[in-house]
Chain A
Amino acid sequence: QKEVEQNSGPLSVPEGAIASLNCTYSDRGSQSFFWYRQYSGKSPELIMFIYSNGDKEDGRFTAQLNKASQYVSLLIRDSQPSDSATYLCAVNKGGAGSYQLTFGKGTKLSVIP
């Protein structure tokens, strides 16, 4: 089983819809989880992190964590064409404040105007 799995997509959603991006991980001891956005030809950008079960909201983004199911998701509300990018899920193998990250291969999101 791969350590961090994401559906590679592409995931296409119409403008204004909710985009739902999913990630599963294998290390049950993982403590913190990250979502990055990477535009084509650009560097990854950290957009959300979460370490407690439940939801965490930041603007149009909501990260959801279910440690029992080893599942992390990212919801993007009111999707805009500018959200079209590859979204990377990462799992932190280290303790609090560390960045010992294992990444999924990313999900490509396309928001259709």
Chain B
Amino acid sequence: EAQVTQNPRYLITVTGKKLTVTCSQNMNHEYMSWYRQDPGLGLRQIYYSMNVEVTDKGDVPEGYKVSRKEKRNFPLILESPSPNQTSLYFCASSSIFTSEYEQYFGPGTRLTVT
């Protein structure tokens, strides 16, 4: 079964305390992405990765870091979280066949920064 897992699903933390949200996929996809979803602002891309060790910024990368050391994992790192990073975060895994697009989202991580 195609699956994208995220952990934790819910997290309440305090300003400045480093945290990592993990994302893992079992489909051998090359492409992985992180998004945040906020009321009134919609879904926005934070970072994406086209393959191992290849990452690039999306539309809202400030305050986030990512790494792609293994094909299946794409963690999102908040080194010094701030309240404006309170959001619903989605990881997505995608194929890169040029004529057929296939993309799966994880279940989401709801982060609250106080």
Contacts and interface: CB of A to CB of B under 8 A. Distances in A.
Contact of B45 (A34, A49, A101, A105): A101
Interface residues of B, number: 27
A103 interface: yes
Nearest to B50: A98
Contacts, number: 51
Nearest to B42: A105
A32 interface: yes
B64 interface: no
A100 interface: yes
Interface of A: 32, 34, 43-46, 49, 88, 90, 96-106
Interface of B: 31, 33, 40-45, 48, 50, 58-59, 90, 92, 94, 96-99, 101-108
